[in-house]
């Protein structure tokens, strides 16, 4: 888990790389753009729609950042018998612009989640030549008439520890 937002996360990633990190694992919450993604469900992002600013400082302009490590992350989740879904995510740094219209556009592009860091950290890692892995867990839901906070801000007891243990096991298998 990291700080909130792509630029801050990219900054932390830069510092970890300077200290010698070669493989990095990010994990954290996201909003579901598909109400069938249950609260707490694991998502492995495969590409990130670039609706933030940081990634443009690391990669040439374009709409998407590929998550080059998604296949390996998915393999590990499968080996661990962790139910997950793999798919595109929408990275935005404007949380109050996650409007119904914008969410519908991203859904039409194939995005199943929205978050604030994936495009930024993947672009940074690719620019710096390090492996960056990521998994998300669905917290709130933007697929409906009204925003549904679900577990956002009120995680069930033991959930943080569950995700941390999963992250540690994934990291162990990456080494």
Is the predicted pLDDT of residue 3 greater than 80, yes or no? no
Could you read off the pLDDT of 31-73 as tens digits, one per residue?
999 999 988 899 999 999 999 999 999 999 999 999 999 999 9
Residue 23's nearest CA partner among 64, 73, 85 is 73
Q: Tell me which residue range forms the domain holding 46.
A: 6-174
| pLDDT at residue 65, as a whole number | 98
Spatial contact of 173 and 82, defined as CB atoms under 8 Å apart:
no
Q: Is residue 72 part of a domain?
A: yes
What whole-number distance in Å separates Cα of residue 99 and Cα of residue 97?
5
Could you read off the pLDDT of 123-151 as tens digits, one per residue?
999 999 999 999 999 999 999 888 898 98
Cα–Cα–Cα angle for 13, 46, 76, nearest 5°?
80
| pLDDT at residue 1, as a whole number | 52
As a whole number, the mean pLDDT across the chain is 94
Q: In 53-93, where do the E strands start and end? A: 64-66, 84-92
Is the predicted pLDDT of residue 24 greater than 70, yes or no? yes
Residue 119's nearest CA partner among 13, 43, 6 is 6
Q: Is residue 105 part of a domain?
A: yes
Q: Is residue 117 part of a domain?
A: yes
| CATH code: domain of residue 118 | 3.40.50.1580
What pLDDT band is residue 2 in, cutting at 50, 70 and 90? low
Q: Spell out the residues 6+ positions from residue 163 whose beta carbon is closer than 8 angstroms to its own.
A: 1, 27, 137
For the beta carbon of residue 83, count every other beta carbon within 10 angstroms: 9
Q: Number of structural domains, the chain?
A: 1
Q: Is residue 40 part of a domain?
A: yes
């Amino acid at each position: 888990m990291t700080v909130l937002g792509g630029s801050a996360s990219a900054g932390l990633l830069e510092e970890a790389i300077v200290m010698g990190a070669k493989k990095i694992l990010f994990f954290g919450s996201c909003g579901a753009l598909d109400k069938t993604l249950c609260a707490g469900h694991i998502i492995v992002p495969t590409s990130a729609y670039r609706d933030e600013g940081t990634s443009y400082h690391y990669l040439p302009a374009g709409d998407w950042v590929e998550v080059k490590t998604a296949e390996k992350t998915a393999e590990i989740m499968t080996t661990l018998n962790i139910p997950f879904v793999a798919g595109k995510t929408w990275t935005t740094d404007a949380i109050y612009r996650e409007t119904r219209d914008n969410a519908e556009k991203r859904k039409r592009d194939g995005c199943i989640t929205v978050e604030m860091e994936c495009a930024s950290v993947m672009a940074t890692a690719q620019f710096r030549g390090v492996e960056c892995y990521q998994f998300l867990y669905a917290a709130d839901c933007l697929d409906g008439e009204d925003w549904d906070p679900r577990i956002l801000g009120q995680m069930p007891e033991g959930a943080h520890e569950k995700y941390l243990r999963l992250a540690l096991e994934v990291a162990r298998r990456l080494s």
